[in-house]
Amino acid sequence: MTLKWGYKRAFLRCALLFVVGAALQLALGDFENKFLRYPWGLIFAINYLYLLLLIYVQSAKWSWLKQLYDGYASVSSLASLIVLTIIFGLTRQDPATQGIVGALGFSRMTSSWIFIIFLTYFVTTLGITTIRDLHHWRKVRLATLLSHAAVFVALAAAMFGSADKERVTVNLALDRMTYEGVTRDGEPYELPFALTLKEFKMEEYPAKLYLLDTKTEESSEEFLLVEREGVEANIGGWELKVKQSLEMGARMPESEEFREMKHIGAVPAVKVEAKNAATGERYEGWVSCGSHIFEPAYLWLGDRYAVAMPRREAKRYLSRLEIMDGEGESWRENIEVNKPARIGSWRIYQVGYDTQRGRWSSSSVVECVRDGWWSVVRVALWLILAASLVMFLTAGGRSLAENKEVKR
């Protein structure tokens, strides 16, 4: 099956855009969007919209302008952008990447000339198509019109509002009010509100026991998950069985036994019985991952091997914050990963904590993000919802003209 000449021409245009993007990347380096800071981003957006409208109007006079938004251009631009996005997604995003990958900007997706050019081309095609749909709204399916408009508004807002997004990292200490953070450039930034960490809470996955080779310092691939007392597993020829498990425990310096203790720094501890399946050797003792107060404990199996417990992995953690706005009003919010708090156009995300102290962390790291174009993106999301509703109600969304024919 061979492609029609229209598609061949459209994909050749995409190939030319790739070459142009690669040349600009090699010649100028990464794309900088600082020139789009407010109000310039808004000015460029208005002029860009006017340019799209002008292209559509003039396409009636100059037929070659229709190649920017005909079916061939739409399919080729979307397909090329999808392929490019997949390539960027499979490439590790690291500014320090060397070689041809780093030189072409594939390790820096949002600042790559190649990606910016293809995104602009697709948004241009979509924008003119949306204008055409609005012009012939009686002949276009309503769901299609809303979908095109929603995606165009969302992507255009992302393009022209990218420089207005502010990200401020704030290190919070327990019961200490903070209203200043640090930008990605390392510059101090004063927030329009104050944050106070009132409590940090963490849930952890069950402890895991590994067989540790003390000479090579390598752990076994297999492990015993301590979900309850009595669980057992065969790891590296050793039969391990959990005799006793403490969620929070500690031991005195002169003692080998752990006992239950609910106090800051308390550690998970497991009493393990180990039997060598080949020789019948038996060992029994306590194993713990330790904390910022207590040292870890190992069960030695002769001179070389030991049963070890690494730090337990965080399952869920959250910070309870007290937020005070510029007018002096305060309230409390719980934030955790992917569940931010909102204050005006700001979003407060949980991004870190004191990993050395773990569940006993008395500090938390949050990121305050402000997107000045969020209101525009919200309009796009409502349009997407409206398009989905129209598709559901009309079984695919007939055009207004078709609806009139059906009524007749």
For 108-141, the DSSP string reads -GGG-HHHHHHHHHHHHHHHHHHHHHHHTTTTSB
pLDDT for position 298: 94
pLDDT for position 97: 74
In this prediction, residues 101-107 reach a mean pLDDT of 87
Taking the C-alpha atoms of residue 366 and residue 351, their distance in angstroms, rounded to an integer, is 5
- The reply to whether 93 and 171 lie within a common domain is no
pLDDT one-digit tens code per residue, 279-307 = 989 999 999 999 988 889 999 998 899 99
- The reply to whether 383 and 354 lie within a common domain is no
pLDDT one-digit tens code per residue, 193-229 = 999 999 999 999 999 999 999 888 899 999 999 999 9
Q: What residue type is 397 in one-letter code?
A: G
Answer yes or no: are the C-beta atoms of 375 and 382 closer than 8 Å: no
Q: What residue type is 266 in one-letter code?
A: A
Taking the C-alpha atoms of residue 62 and residue 127, their distance in angstroms, rounded to an integer, is 18
What is the percent of the chain where pLDDT is above 70?
95
Q: Tell me which residue range forms the domain holding 158.
A: 5-164+375-407
Task: Extract the tokens encoding 320.
Answer: 């309870």
Taking the C-alpha atoms of residue 177 and residue 336, their distance in angstroms, rounded to an integer, is 19
* Number of folded domains that form the chain: 3
Backbone angles phi, psi at 30, to 5 degrees: -65, 150
pLDDT for position 395: 63
pLDDT one-digit tens code per residue, 26-59 = 999 899 888 888 889 899 999 999 999 999 999 9
Taking the C-alpha atoms of residue 319 and residue 323, their distance in angstroms, rounded to an integer, is 12
Angle, helices 113-135 vs 142-160, to 10°: value is 140
Which residues face 178 on adjacent strands? 195
- The reply to whether 197 and 255 lie within a common domain is no
Taking the C-alpha atoms of residue 317 and residue 303, their distance in angstroms, rounded to an integer, is 39
Whether 104 shows a pLDDT value over 50: the answer reads yes
pLDDT one-digit tens code per residue, 325-381 = 888 899 999 999 889 998 888 999 999 999 888 888 999 999 999 887 888 888 888
Taking the C-alpha atoms of residue 110 and residue 210, their distance in angstroms, rounded to an integer, is 41
- The reply to whether 223 and 322 lie within a common domain is no
- The reply to whether 65 and 149 lie within a common domain is yes
Backbone angles phi, psi at 142, to 5 degrees: -60, -40
Answer yes or no: are the C-beta atoms of 297 and 288 closer than 8 Å: yes
Backbone angles phi, psi at 29, to 5 degrees: 85, -160
261: left (phi over 0), alpha (psi -120 to 50) or beta: beta
Task: Extract the tokens encoding 150.
Answer: 């929603």
- The reply to whether 19 and 157 lie within a common domain is yes
Answer yes or no: are the C-beta atoms of 207 and 309 closer than 8 Å: yes
Whether 408 shows a pLDDT value over 70: the answer reads no
Answer yes or no: are the C-beta atoms of 311 and 205 closer than 8 Å: no
- The reply to whether 23 and 157 lie within a common domain is yes
Taking the C-alpha atoms of residue 332 and residue 22, their distance in angstroms, rounded to an integer, is 49
pLDDT for position 399: 52
175: left (phi over 0), alpha (psi -120 to 50) or beta: left
- At 69, the pLDDT band (50, 70, 90 cuts) reads confident
- The reply to whether 304 and 182 lie within a common domain is no
pLDDT for position 239: 94
Taking the C-alpha atoms of residue 216 and residue 348, their distance in angstroms, rounded to an integer, is 43
Backbone angles phi, psi at 358, to 5 degrees: 60, -125
- The reply to whether 14 and 67 lie within a common domain is yes
Taking the C-alpha atoms of residue 380 and residue 401, their distance in angstroms, rounded to an integer, is 25
pLDDT for position 407: 46
pLDDT for position 393: 83
Whole-structure pTM value? 0.66
Last residue of one domain, picked from the residues 269, 292, 312: 312
Q: What residue type is 260 in one-letter code?
A: E
- The reply to whether 9 and 145 lie within a common domain is yes
- At 4, the pLDDT band (50, 70, 90 cuts) reads low
Arithmetic mean of pLDDT over the chain: 89
161 against 209, higher pLDDT: 209
pLDDT for position 110: 86
- At 1, the pLDDT band (50, 70, 90 cuts) reads very low
Task: List the one residue out of 44, 75, 60 whose CA is nearest residue 132.
Answer: 60
- The reply to whether 278 and 293 lie within a common domain is yes
pLDDT for position 336: 92
- The reply to whether 57 and 135 lie within a common domain is yes
Answer yes or no: are the C-beta atoms of 261 and 246 closer than 8 Å: no
- At 95, the pLDDT band (50, 70, 90 cuts) reads confident
